[in-house]
Chains A and B, each alone.
Chain A
C-alpha cells in the first residue's frame, strides 16, 4: 500500500538555525509529493510540491527534492524564523498507470516545529 513516514517531533530550534524534517514514502503507483503546514487554529496550507523524480519544490525559503532512488522528500530551510513554528505534514498522492489518483492523499503523522527567538 501507500504510506508516509515522517521524522518524529517535536523539533525545537533557535531562530536562524537550519531545519531538516525527514520524510520517506512507499507507493504502489506514480507518486506526487507535498508538504503542508498547519499554523495553530488554522487549516492546512500547501507549502510546496513535486510531481516527478528530481523535481525540487520551493516556497518561502523552504525546499524539498523528490528523490526516487531513496523514496524521500525531506523538507529543508536554511534559516528558520519564529513565525515558522507550526505542524508540518508530508503527503503523498499516488496515480495509477492511467494517471488516476482518486484524490486520496496519504499523510505522515506530522512534525511539530517550535522556533525560539
Chain B
C-alpha cells in the first residue's frame, strides 16, 4: 500500500480539454515531485516543490502547470496536451530534498 495517493488512476482526454491530476500525502513530507514515465523507461523529473515553493522546473512545456495549495497536496493542471504526452504521471514525496522519495501508483494518461 502506498502512502502517496494519486487520483484519478486513469484519464483519457482530448487535445482541447483541461483536466487536473491530484496527489496527496499525509506523512508530513515537505518536498513533493512530479515525474513522467513512458513505457519501459525510467521516470523523468518534471517539477520539484520544497516547502510549498516551486524549486525545479525541468523545462516542462507550459501546457503542464503545477500547483501546491498546501504541504499535503500537489496538483498538475493539464491543458491542450499532445498525443506524445500520453504516459504514466507519478507523484512522489520526501521528508526533505535529501531524503528518499516515496512514489504513488500514478495516473495513466491517454491523449486522443
Contact = CB atoms under 8 A, between A and B. Distances in A.
Interface of A: 32, 34, 36, 41-46, 49, 89, 93, 95, 99-105, 107-110, 112
Given A102-B56, A103-B56, A44 B43 contact: yes
A44 B56 contact: no
Contact of A102 (B48, B101, B105, B106): B48
Contacts of B2: 43, 45
Contacts of A99: 98
B97 to A, nearest CB: 4
Contacts of A102: 48, 55-56, 97
A107 B44 CA distance: 9
Contacts of B105: 41-43
A43 B90 contact: yes
A2 to B, nearest CB: 12
Given A89-B42, A109-B41, A109-B42, A103 B97 contact: yes
Contacts of B43: 44, 105, 107
A15 B106 CA distance: 30
A93 B104 contact: no
Contact of B90 (A44, A100, A108, A109): A44
Interface in B60-97: 90, 92, 94, 97
A32 B41 CA distance: 21
B48 A45 contact: no
